[in-house]
Structure 1
Amino acid sequence: MRLYFFSGLTTSCNTLKFDSLKLHNETSNHVTSNNITDESYWYYKNSVDGLWRRWDISVNSETNVAAWKMKWLNQEPKNILGVIVYLTSVRELPQLNISLLSLRQNLFKPRPIVIFHEGDFNNVNVQLALATTLGTNIPISFEHIRFPTKISIKSKIGDLRLGYNHMCKFFAIMLPYHPLISSTFTFYLRLDYHSYLLGPPLTYDLFDHMQINQFQYAFLMVSTDELKFVRELWVLFQEFLNDSCIKPSSAVKKTQITAATGLYSQAVVFNNFEVSNGSLWRNEPRIHAWLRKVDNAQGIYMYRWGDAPIRTLAVTQFLDDNQVVKFRDIGYFHRREYTCSSRMHSCSIPSYHRLASHIVYREGCHP
């Protein structure tokens, strides 16, 4: 492994202040109830007390909040340094099962896994089957969440893909404000149901490595997003920097601006595999302000902004070189893209991953 240049220092005016965004002893406005009364909000449900709580990014989730109580299968986590998270549904169960099996085969040490879902994983038999896939050493739990069903936003690029839009907002903005991350675990590894570790098995623990080296963010692969899916995002980012009296970082200039044209490069980190310190997205005032700006602009729903470009802009602008790492020794496959571990001259795709076409990201990069 080696550090990647993907981030740089931030320069700002001496007068820059974020007083209105400080996360200080705010009173939580979470609504606790047996039932959901307003379908326009996000909610999460506790598996122990069975109560729904309103999910909001405007409150300090870490104030006066005890560790989130959960029901675990296999065993309780041995520590709370890090957790692996998925957002999926039972229709993706076969692929999810293979993904979990790849973790069992390739993780350096057992780490807890949490499946976020909209209620279709409440079936105990399904939960037990996935726990069996992992074996007895890896804890697994299931977190029931509810997306808003009343959305008044109209898409400007065609039909509104509400489920996909919710997923993008979940990973771009909401996840660090869930008590699993805000009051329990320090780091999280985000994976998708079609994320697979290819091997060879890891020789170190990802979360230990992040903590020891004081990394805040880690990734595997980079690419470029389609122009039609980042419409108006760069304009919003420039507006945010100007309004906040912040100059573009050296990393933004190097990776997000095309040298020949001065236009937005659309370069993104593939955050379907990302390791992050959850507090980064809540407690760094400039990042918190950027996420609020994105949320208020409603571009995730209007323009189908993905979580990858939203997070990439934050990482390149606000993190220093020594806070970010690009892993090169992890073999990984996602949908039809894959990268091989630097510990291997080449890697083969298992038969259950083979498609008519797939794309290799050499050293994690494409093109």
Structure 2
Amino acid sequence: MDTPTPMLPRKVSNVLHKRSPLPKPFSADDISQLGSITISSEEGNAWEDASEVFWDTPKRRTRRQTALYLLVAIGVTFGFITPFRTSSINLVFDPYKPIRPELSPTPGNTADPIKWLKENSNDKHAVTKGFLSRLQHGRPRAALISLVRNAELPGMIQSIRQMEEKWNAKYLYPWIFFNDEPFSDEFKTETQNATAAKCFYAVIPKEHWSLPEWIDEDRFINGLEYLGTIGVGKGWLVSYHHMCRWNSGFFYKHPILKDYDWYWRVEPDVHYFCKMSYDPFRFMRDNNLKYGFNMNILDDARSFPSLGPHTAAFMKTSPHLVHPNADLTWLVDTNTSDYNNCQFFSNFEIGSLNFWRSPQHQAYFDYLDQAGGFYYERWGDAPVHTLSIGMFVPKAEIWFFRDLGYQHDVNMHCPPNREVACDCQKTRLDENFYKLVPLQSPQRKPDDTCIRQFLGGKWLEKKDGWTMGVEKAFGGDGYHGYKLLEDE
């Protein structure tokens, strides 16, 4: 049967006709004579042109295109499921590829918190799980959450825009806004216009934002007046007490979060300074981390004088709930053995909702709630979160997001060593240690800053001949004698 061939150039029409029979297979004699065949330059070019035209049929073009599409699809697939290995977060092009974020190399004699955490986890969770995690789990079920009032709309828009610009514009994790009253149409419209991600709005149940029945109202009112008199921050505001209690034991129970596993807390009128080239949610999940913080600072002890003793009492009544690998030493004053008032600054936190839903934390919160300290004193969610994390989570599952620049009011963290662009002046590791403690507070400050007590090891080593007393005598605050300063 004859097979049609494509039109050929005029100069080879004497070689091939428009319709020619299929070529016969070479015989042994033909093959043996190939070495003696001589083709002129003109004939060779003619045959080359003819061969090119002969092979470039529509059917062959279709096959080549199909093969190309298959190769591209295979390449994309393997590019997605193959673990991405690099030491620089600047090279992460796929927004959903988890990677352990690293900062620029530090001098060989300088300890690295990231290295420290890696070593103290025995490398068990030091690297991402790779393609199995991606195939089995996919994109983390996570959201950006904010407790905000209608009147705080301008500050909320500021926070959203910076978060979107620095990170979420390419990830599009949803925003979930909470309020103790319905959001206005203006609030919904403006927030939706500030992001391409989905926005959801939730009203807090009244029972989660009101005085519990076991609270003595007269004692509560007297406490408000006392806290206002001595100047404890926002301690005279009823709504602030509701807020601290809600953030401590109720936010994760709201039905709107039932389909989520991870959250990033975003406050109104905060600042995010650094570009983020990886997904913190995937990073947390794939490295089996439970809680991420950005600042570890001291709080005004007058806000929660009985929180430490109540926590100690809880541990005595429920020792079986405390994690066997928990490390509370960095939260204990070495001189008094009491709670030293250090805390993770919870205005910035990235964490596991499933941890807060755990029976351990719920038992601890219920114990504190019955004690009444959220109203008789001003127990904040930051120290409650910190103590809960300290009791129930191994330190190897807590992450210091030192590469993310952040500011809330007077407290600002700007990473001194970074590979990503940051719109801020670098800060010292100990920059925010006691900014929340007013001068009139009589509390004793720890011998070491909170973040250094958390990091431990070389971060606590002092310069030879240095003493806190001598530094204070010369006008210092007593916290500049460390060998490792982080900002050098």
What TM-score results when the alignment is normalised by the length of structure 2?
Answer: 0.53
Give the CA deviation at 1:195: 2.4
- Partner residue of 2:153? 93
Give the CA deviation at 1:365: 5.5
Identity of counterpart residues, as a percentage?
Answer: 22
- Give, as a single letter, the amino acid of the residue that structure 2 aligns with 1:95: G
CA contact (8 A) 1:4 1:326 kept: no
Match of 1:179 among 237, 255, 264: 255
- What do residues 303-346 of structure 1 show as CA deviations (whole Å, max 9, x unaligned)? 01000111101111111122211111101011121101341699
Structure possessing the higher radius of gyration over alpha carbons: 2
- Give, as a single letter, the amino acid of the residue that structure 2 aligns with 1:97: I
CA contact (8 A) 2:145 2:265 kept: yes
CA contact (8 A) 1:80 1:186 kept: yes
- Cα distance in 2, alignment partners of residues 79 and 348 from structure 1: 29
Match of 1:303 among 374, 377, 382: 377
Question: C-alpha root-mean-square deviation of aligned residues, in Å?
Answer: 2.9
Give the CA deviation at 1:161: 2.3
- Partner residue of 1:140? 199
Match of 1:215 among 278, 282, 289: 289
- What do residues 62-103 of structure 1 show as CA deviations (whole Å, max 9, x unaligned)? xxxxxxxxxxxxxxxx96610011011121111111000011
Give the CA deviation at 1:216: 1.0
- Cα distance in 2, alignment partners of residues 207 and 345 from structure 1: 18
- Partner residue of 2:347? 272
- What do residues 243-286 of structure 1 show as CA deviations (whole Å, max 9, x unaligned)? 12357977654211111332321010001111111111222x32
Residue 194 (structure 1) aligned with residue 194 (structure 2): no
- Cα distance in 2, alignment partners of residues 292 and 4 from structure 1: 34
- Partner residue of 2:181? 119
Count how many residue pairs are aligned between Structure 1 and Structure 2: 283
- Cα distance in 2, alignment partners of residues 120 and 270 from structure 1: 28
Structure 1 257/150 Cα, relative in aligned 2: closer, same or farther at 3 Å?
closer
Structure 2 unaligned segments of length 5 or more: list them: 1-100, 102-113, 122-137, 226-235, 434-448, 450-488
Secondary structure in structure 2 of the residue aligned to 1:110? coil
Match of 2:429 among 342, 358, 362: 362
- Partner residue of 1:25? none
- More displaced, 248-257 or 230-239? 248-257
- Give, as a single letter, the amino acid of the residue that structure 1 aligns with 2:185: V
- Partner residue of 1:29? none
Secondary structure in structure 1 of the residue aligned to 2:194? helix
Q: How does 1:1-367 map to 2 (within 5 A)?
A: 1=101, 2=114, 81-107=141-167, 109-121=171-183, 123-134=184-195, 136=196, 138-147=197-206, 148-149=209-210, 152-153=215-216, 154-155=219-220, 157-159=223-225, 160-181=236-257, 183-199=258-274, 201-245=275-319, 252-283=327-358, 285-341=359-415, 342-343=417-418, 362=429, 366=433, 367=449
- What do residues 187-213 of structure 1 show as CA deviations (whole Å, max 9, x unaligned)? 0111211222111x1010111111111
- What do residues 98-148 of structure 1 show as CA deviations (whole Å, max 9, x unaligned)? 000011101152211111012352x323311111112x3x11111122444
Secondary structure in structure 2 of the residue aligned to 1:268? strand
Give the CA deviation at 1:158: 3.1
Give the CA deviation at 1:234: 0.6
- Cα distance in 2, alignment partners of residues 3 and 226 from structure 1: 32
Secondary structure in structure 2 of the residue aligned to 1:362? coil
- What do residues 342-361 of structure 1 show as CA deviations (whole Å, max 9, x unaligned)? 416996559xxxxxxxx956
Secondary structure in structure 2 of the residue aligned to 1:330? coil
Structure 1 unaligned segments of length 5 or more: list them: 10-77, 351-358
Structure 1 149/365 Cα, relative in aligned 2: closer, same or farther at 3 Å?
closer
- Give, as a single letter, the amino acid of the residue that structure 1 aligns with 2:224: G
- Cα distance in 2, alignment partners of residues 193 and 302 from structure 1: 27
Relative contact order, higher structure (CA 8 A, sep 6+)? 1
CA contact (8 A) 2:412 2:432 kept: no
CA contact (8 A) 2:414 2:424 kept: no
Give the CA deviation at 1:301: 0.9
Structure 1 275/88 Cα, relative in aligned 2: closer, same or farther at 3 Å?
same
